[in-house]
Amino acid sequence: MATFLYKLGRLAFRRRHFVALLWVALLTLAGVGAASAPVAGSSSFSIPGTEAQKAFDLLEDRFPGMSADGATARVVFEAPAGEKMADKDNKETVRKAVEELRTGSEVTSVADPFKSHAVSEDGSIAYASVNYEVSGMELTDASKEALQDAAQEARDAGLTVEVGGDALQATPETGSTEIVGIAIAAVVLVITFGSLIAAGLPLLTALIGVGIGVSTITALASALDLGSTTSTLAMMIGLAVGIDYALFIVSRYRAELAEGREREEAAGRAVGTAGSAVVFAGLTVVIALVGLSVVNIPMLTKMGVAAAGTVAIAVLIALTMIPALLGYAGRKVQPAGSKSRFLGGGRAARKAGRPNMGTRWASFVVRRPLAVLMLGVIGLGAAAVPAASLELGLPDDGSQPTSTTQRRAYDLLSDGFGPGFNGPLMVVVDAKDSDAPKAAFAEVTDEIKDLDGVVSVSPAQPNKAGDTAMITVVPESKPSSVKTEDLVHSIRDAGDGIRADTDSTVLVTGSTAMNIDFSQKLNDALVPYLALVVGLAFLLLIVVFRSILVPLKAALGFLLSVMAALGAVVAVFQWGWLSGLIGVEETGPIMSMMPIFMVGVVFGLAMDYEVFLVTRMREAYVHGEKPGQAIVTGFKHGARVVSAAAVIMIAVFAGFIGSSESMIKMIGFGLAIAVFFDAFVVRMAIVPAVLALLGRKAWWLPRWLDRALPNVDVEGEGLRAHDERSKGLGGDEDGDRDRELARA
């Protein structure tokens, strides 16, 4: 592989005009497609194989025209202080608002609060339920504006009016911190390279790669049902890995220049060596992201595949466009150890012979491996303790900022009708096989009324055929609470007995039940997913490092870092520690997909640093250095760059903490803290400590396995053989020719 990538790097360097034109053309094509495509909304939500999804499908079949997955809105009215909603003027204002809402072209029904008994006991709060024939992502702007106009007219008449539900879904805003993250990345690159030109190359290529990836996702959003969250996550991951991959190749290019190689040769060698690590690091990320499809949740699969596509683009750009741009930059990108005139006057960065910080740190770890290992493991173990209290759920309107109308509507309904009113359960009774459907409906209603945690149960509403009915159940507790989850399980357990007595099937659905089933499905899939991803990556790393213990150590170190990161997420978002610093207004259960998503993404990113750092050690060991010295050599050449890459990735992920959407905020924080733990504790401390303790055993591989594995040559041994062949044939360099003549 190293030889192939070496030739690719040289070709891209020579044919830089063609390569640059190709990528610019792809960016333009993707941009045109995105500009002409409809704006993406939230992706449709389905969970195949769950009871809640079966109930939704049954409702669509037995209640035609009901639009079970249609958008809903709750327009909540609050009377002025000292007044009641039943007062004449207030009642007339609500009546006008209801009539106005009914005129919407996509509205299927509007429930008058005074006819549907939707007025609180104290008479101060009422709500009107609005149902639409299309989902929230398909709702037109005209329908949303009509809803907002009706609410505003009631406000103008003196009432407090807020709108909840999914009809007014807003596109999440990432905030200015995303720009700050990119700015921090730029500063780190300038410090690392000591050159504005060299620092600008990774930023430029990463932005082009993300531009192509996100624009393609936007262009296909309508056809493939991709939500706005999909593109945001693809941008987050693509930007981070795009900068990092380019950073490693540019850094290796400068190191090759420092050894006296010509620029084209240096570009080829940079792509052949660091590029090999980029390919395998990118493969681990792609495996982890595409592996999310094993969960069998369409939304999660689309998010993973879209982000994996952006990562693949980042790899291709790093291998081709970076050497092309290095050709354009020429002498403006200087050898390692020197600075530009603007930043350092072209002088050496430090005194010759003085070991850098990476060398000094690695030498310390090699001398004290056990102490460093124990300190790192104990520290990460302490950070992971809160993960034992992990509670999973999905965000609802109660987790949104108090500045949103959805959150204010949620709070008003909680005050007027109780916290469980925001998450009613829909019980579907399928009595098609029953001899007495009405008796079955009555029995289900009576059974549910006797359960703990139930506030109210509505009368059964049968369909026209009379073989299926809907029953609405209001819990005592809020939608995301453990008590509500227990109630859902209690209803389902009671349904088993009812089925035996009446030949009727009882199914529980609704948004709350869907969230519970979603969380359960993710929990059930976590272990198989972890086994698949870690197993495939373990096999890949065996091929890369030609070792058993190094990949095993990499996987165990990843588990430490991801558990510590989950502990930090629980401490901030569930317990509320330091939550004010990152704008967490409402603590509660951790988003259900957070553990499995972090496992996938963090594993892929963790293997990036493993590959980049340890391949340098492997390269030194293969070329004859002792194990301890190989560790120091690996840190000498790789620690500064890996540290810079980690800081950049942390800055990019932390930039998304400013998002207005709780899911994006949580993922941004979780990934940022996970990269911090993995890069600076696991890869920079635990990895060299373990390798120092293992010595030569770290690189042990059974002979039969060594013969069976393909030789991918990540350390560039093929390039050394290529050099020797070139010298033997009388290469281009005068020094080589003179040495050959001298031997003759």
For residue 152, the model assigns a pLDDT of 93
**Angle, alpha carbons 539-545-551 (nearest 5°):** 50
Query: pLDDT band at 361, cuts 50/70/90?
Result: very high
For residue 743, the model assigns a pLDDT of 37
Q: How would you class 154 by CB atoms within 10 Å of its CB: exposed for 0-12, middle for 13-18, buried for 19 or more?
A: buried
Q: Rg of the chain's alpha carbons, rounded to an integer?
A: 30
Q: What number is the average pLDDT over the span 716-729?
A: 60
Q: What number is the average pLDDT over the span 45-57?
A: 83
Asked whether residue 170 carries a pLDDT value surpassing 60, the answer given is: no
Q: For strand 125-132 and strand 72-78, is the pairing parallel, antiparallel, or unpaired?
A: antiparallel
Query: 295-299, 482-486, 626-630: which has the minimum mean pLDDT?
Result: 295-299
Asked whether residue 68 carries a pLDDT value surpassing 70, the answer given is: no
pTM: 0.78
Question: Rounded distance, CA 240 to CA 207, Å?
Answer: 10
Question: Rounded distance, CA 166 to CA 159, Å?
Answer: 22
Query: pLDDT band at 177, cuts 50/70/90?
Result: low
- Over the stretch 302-336, which tens digit does the pLDDT of each residue have? 888 888 999 999 999 999 999 999 999 888 888 87
Neighbours of 239 (CB within 10 A): 29
For residue 232, the model assigns a pLDDT of 77
Q: Give me 627's structure tokens.
A: 């194990």
For residue 318, the model assigns a pLDDT of 93
Q: What is the distance of C-alpha 51 from the center of its chain?
A: 27
Percent of the chain exceeding pLDDT 90 equals 27
H runs (alpha helix) in 503-593 = 511-545, 549-569
Asked whether residue 730 carries a pLDDT value surpassing 60, the answer given is: no
Percent of the chain exceeding pLDDT 70 equals 89
- Over the stretch 106-165, which tens digit does the pLDDT of each residue have? 888 888 898 888 899 899 999 998 888 877 767 788 888 889 999 999 999 999 999 988
More confident residue, 445 or 223: 445
More confident residue, 393 or 228: 393
Q: H or E stretch including 633?
A: helix 627-654
Mean of pLDDT over the chain:
83
Most distant CA pair in the chain, distance = 112
Query: pLDDT band at 186, cuts 50/70/90?
Result: confident
For residue 726, the model assigns a pLDDT of 56
Q: What number is the average pLDDT over the span 435-448?
A: 89
Query: 93-102, 300-309, 602-611: which has the minimum mean pLDDT?
Result: 602-611
- Over the stretch 449-507, which tens digit does the pLDDT of each residue have? 989 999 888 888 898 888 899 998 989 988 878 888 899 999 999 888 888 778 889 99
Asked whether residue 174 carries a pLDDT value surpassing 80, the answer given is: no
